[in-house]
């Protein structure tokens, strides 16, 4: 069985590289056919200089979409070959500009016939195919520019990981994990305070018996995340979202997002109109998550925690 038929689209990198290698190998022979001593990788720089009299390396890199070090290396190779020359910019003596040498200009005239024939050959291939490769490449470049393949794979991984997570109601058996996960992250960034111990040591009395809720995230059956809704004695807010913690083992697996969404849904089911939370701005992933969920920053309220430097609210819809 053909390797690419067996592996499918996951081998796109290998397949494109093989196609690129094949075209590049032919390109080297095509230059020889027209008596042009040039490496295929030089072509973008050479072509850009043939269209404009001179450019800086930075301008070349921008024009052809290559990195500055890559263009700098190519220019060095072309300088040794005598195809380009380097000089001071006439309008700004601080800048060095690159332009075609007399030898390079002669090559550019030879290159015109080659480009005509290469373009005709590519057009011939295009007429024999059902799919337009050039247009497809343009579309791929645009879409990958909007969102990289890496980012897309990360999102798909999160989606698949999400299927392994389950959000369940708190049971007494989860008291230790509720406590330990919170102690773990609080101690990492801050100092445990008296208010923390009161809630974590007695979640039944301080949260559940007062009309609050605790949810637990199970990942492949293991409790790796917790979050609480604490009933507030406040005319403006119904609940405080608090004591949210996710084990490092589950981070990057979308567990925090699923847990937070579940706790918000629980608040809705209890008739909440507004949810309040306190956090600290050094916890950037958490703050980003809250913004993603729709929380907005509000003016500070009195807080029992020294670490709290940002307050947020969510209007429940």
Q: Is position 28 within any domain?
A: no
pLDDT the model gives residue 90: 78
What pLDDT digit, counting tens, does each position of 159-208 carry?
Answer: 888 889 999 999 999 999 999 999 999 999 999 999 999 999 999 999 99
* CATH (domain of 57): 1.10.10.10
Q: What is the pLDDT of residue 239?
A: 94
Residue 23 lies in a domain: no
27: pLDDT strictly greater than 80? yes
Residue 7 lies in a domain: no
Residue 213, pLDDT > 50, answer yes
Is 83 within the bounds of a domain?
yes
Domain end call among 114, 146, 178: 146
Mean per-residue pLDDT, 210-233: 95
Q: Specify the range with the lowest mean pLDDT, choosing from 2-11, 92-101, 184-193, 285-294.
A: 2-11
Residue 247 within any structural domain of the chain: yes
Q: What's the pLDDT tens digit per position in 91-150?
A: 777 788 999 999 999 999 988 888 899 998 888 888 888 888 888 888 888 988 898 888
pLDDT in tens, 44-71: 999 999 987 789 999 999 999 999 999 9
| Closest alpha carbon to 138 in 65, 41, 39, 68 | 65
Share of the chain above pLDDT 90, in %: 59
| Residue that is last in its domain, among 119, 146, 173 | 146
What is the length of the chain? Answer: 317
End position of a domain, from candidates 146, 177, 195: 146
The answer to whether residue 317 scores a pLDDT higher than 80 is no
Number of domains in the chain: 2
Say if strands 274-279 and 239-246 run parallel, antiparallel, or are unpaired: parallel
- CATH assignment of the domain containing 298: 3.40.630.30
- The pLDDT of residue 1 is 45
- The model carries a pTM of 0.64
Task: Identify whether residues 219 and 269 lie together within a single domain.
Answer: yes
Q: Which residues pair with 228 in a beta bridge?
A: 214, 242
Q: Tell me what pLDDT residue 292 has.
A: 94
């Amino acid at each position: 069985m053909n390797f690419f038929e067996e592996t499918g689209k996951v081998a796109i990198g290998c397949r494109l590289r093989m196609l690129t290698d094949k075209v590049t190998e032919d390109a080297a022979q095509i230059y020889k056919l027209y008596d042009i001593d040039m490496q295929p990788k030089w072509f973008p720089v050479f072509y850009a200089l043939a269209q404009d009299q001179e450019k800086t390396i930075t301008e070349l890199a921008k024009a052809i979409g290559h990195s500055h070090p890559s263009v700098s290396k190519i220019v060095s190779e072309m300088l040794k070959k005598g195809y380009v020359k380097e000089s001071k910019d006439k309008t700004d003596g601080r800048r060095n500009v690159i332009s075609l040498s007399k030898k390079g200009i002669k090559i550019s005239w030879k290159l015109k016939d080659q480009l005509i024939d290469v373009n005709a050959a590519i057009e011939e291939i295009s007429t024999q195919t059902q799919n337009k490769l050039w247009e497809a490449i343009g579309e791929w470049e645009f879409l990958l520019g909007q969102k990289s393949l890496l980012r897309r794979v990360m999102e798909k991984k999160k989606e698949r990981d999400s299927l392994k997570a389950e959000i369940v109601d708190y049971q007494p058996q989860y008291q230790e994990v509720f406590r330990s996960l919170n102690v773990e992250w609080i101690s990492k960034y801050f100092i445990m305070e008296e208010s923390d111990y009161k809630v974590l040591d007695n979640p039944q009395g301080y949260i559940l018996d007062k009309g609050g809720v605790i949810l637990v995230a199970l990942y492949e059956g293991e409790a790796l995340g917790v979050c609480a809704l604490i009933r507030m004695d406040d005319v403006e807010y119904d609940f405080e979202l608090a004591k949210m913690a996710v084990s490092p083992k589950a981070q990057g697996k979308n567990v925090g997002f699923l847990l937070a969404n579940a706790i918000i849904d629980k608040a809705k089911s209890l008739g909440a109109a507004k949810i309040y939370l306190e956090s600290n701005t050094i916890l950037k992933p958490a703050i980003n998550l809250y913004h993603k969920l729709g929380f907005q920053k509000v003016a500070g309220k009195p807080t029992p925690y020294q670490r709290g430097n940002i307050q947020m609210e969510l209007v429940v819809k």
